[in-house]
Amino acid sequence: MAKLTGIKIFGGNAHKVLAQQVCDYLDLPLGKSTSTRFADGEIRVEVNESARGDDVYIIQPTCAPTNDTLMELLIMLDAFRRASAGQITVVMPYYGYARQDKKVKPREPISGRLVADLIQAAGAHRVVAVDLHAEQIQGFFNIPVDHLYAGPIIGKFYEEAGYVGKEDVVVVSPDVSGVGRARNLAEKLKCPITLIAKRRPEPNKVDIVEIIGAVEGKKCVIIDDMVDTGGSVIIGAEALLKMGATSVEVACTHPVLSANASQRIQDSVLDRFICLDTLPIPSERVVPKMQVLPVAPLIAEAIKRHHMNESVSELFSTWRSGG
């Protein structure tokens, strides 16, 4: 790969390891910046090298502690804008507040839109995100958004694991909104799709209503964009096994894994939990059932193509949007 010029990549404190992995892939040094705090908790950011006229990329998933990582991102944007960076692209492997993308009840905010407004106001010229919880979030921005799909990474994993064309494999969508994602993986694996119909009486609570499709005697692969507490996929797995499934595993893009979710997954009926490292996973939360796939090559390729004015969508030429 030819050496890239006029580009600098920086990472916030949210996921320094991922930022370094992206730089290693592109054979670039990680930009020098520091983020510290005043005694009262205010975030202080300093850019420790010139960025004037450069194509700057800030890698920062707005993961837990979400408010801190989001605020740090906004302050970094302001710092680079005032440092006369040429173009500033925010790379958000995980977009926090994405679950609040619409009003479900009266007098509720649309926090996903508020986050978009803040990022634009702080000085971003472009956003790169991985598997947004809701695709309409792209429309919250008045600047270009490159939406990267993690599905091909998961599909390749199962392809190499020998799941393609097996009559005893079925892909399961954990809800109606995830049908497109499940359909894409099912087409990749040449297998049928099943849907879990459920309702959420309140956040992080789920009731299984019905399983639509045949699962008896099947290995079930539940695919979702994120797993937070783990309750939804575990309850879904238990329901599938009661319907005659021989095994259940989960593949997701974003391992939010709040509280004791990792241990719940380890103690559950799930055979395996596949995820990407879009968020940092502390070593104490990595359990034996968990297998983590790298997302850095995908992000690095998108950055390179954007910087070189090449097509990003070609990375997903065999993967439909909407999944």
- Domain of 280 in residue numbering reads as 151-294
Assigned domain for 1 exists:
no
Q: Decide if 39 is inside a domain.
A: yes
**Contact between 30 and 13 (Cβ < 8 Å):** no
The verdict on residue 186 lying in a domain is yes
Give a yes or no: residue 19 inside a domain: yes
Residue 237 lies in a domain: yes
Read off the pLDDT of residues 300-313 as tens digits, 9 standing for 90 and up. 999 999 999 999 98
Burial profile 289-322: b = 16 or more Cβ within 10 angstroms, e = fewer: bbeebebbebbbbbbbbbbeeeebeebbeebeee
Indicate whether 2 belongs to any domain.
no
Q: Is residue 226 domain-shared with residue 159, that is, in the same domain? A: yes
SS (H, E, C) the chain: CCCCCCEEEEECCCCHHHHHHHHHHHCCCECCEEEEECCCCCEEEEECCCCECCEEEEECCCCCCHHHHHHHHHHHHHHHHHCCECEEEEEECCCCCCCCCCCCCCCCCCHHHHHHHHHHHHCCCEEEEECCCCHHHHHHCCCCEEEECCHHHHHHHHHHCCCCCCCCEEEEECCHHHHHHHHHHHHHHCCCEEEEEEECCCCCCCEEEEEECCCCCCEEEEEEEEECCCHHHHHHHHHHHHCCCCEEEEEEEEECCCCCHHHHHHCCCCCEEEEECCCCCCHHHCCCCEEEECCHHHHHHHHHHHHCCCCCHHHHCCCCCCC
Return the closest-CA partner of residue 224 out of 266, 268, 171, 147. Answer: 171
Let me know whether 46 and 134 are in one domain: yes
Q: Judge whether 32 counts as a catalytic residue.
A: no
From the number of C-beta atoms within 10 Å of its C-beta (0-12, 13-18, 19+), residue 66 rates as middle
Q: Are 72 and 204 members of one domain?
A: no
157 and 135 within one domain: no
pLDDT value at position 90? 98
Characterise 310 by phi-psi region: left (phi > 0), alpha (psi -120 to 50), beta (else). Answer: beta
Rounded Cα distance, 247 and 172, in Å: 12
Domains: count for the chain: 2
Residues 37 and 80 placed together within one structural domain of the fold? yes
Q: Are residues 156 and 142 in the same domain?
A: no
Is the same domain home to 75 and 179? no
pLDDT of residue 202: 65
The answer to whether residues 243 and 136 belong to one domain is no
Q: Based on the domain organization, do 287 and 161 belong to the same domain?
A: yes
Same domain, 38 and 145: yes
- Kindly state whether residue 323 falls inside one of the protein's structural domains: no
Q: Is residue 321 part of a domain?
A: no
Q: What's the CATH number where 308 sits?
A: 3.40.50.2020
323 residues of the chain, pLDDT tens digit each: 678 999 999 999 999 999 999 999 999 999 999 999 999 999 999 999 999 999 999 999 999 999 999 999 999 999 999 999 999 999 999 999 999 999 988 999 999 999 999 999 999 999 999 999 999 999 999 999 999 999 999 999 999 999 999 999 999 999 888 999 999 999 999 999 999 987 666 665 666 668 899 999 999 999 999 999 998 899 999 999 999 999 999 999 999 999 899 999 999 999 999 999 999 999 989 999 999 999 999 999 999 999 999 999 888 876 655 54
Residues 124, 89: Cα–Cα separation, whole Å: 6
Beta strands 43-47; 33-37: pairing state: antiparallel
Identify the pLDDT of residue 203.
Answer: 63
User: Does residue 60 share a domain with residue 186?
Assistant: no
In the set 8, 102, 103, 198, the catalytic residue is: 198
Pair (186, 66) in one structural domain: no
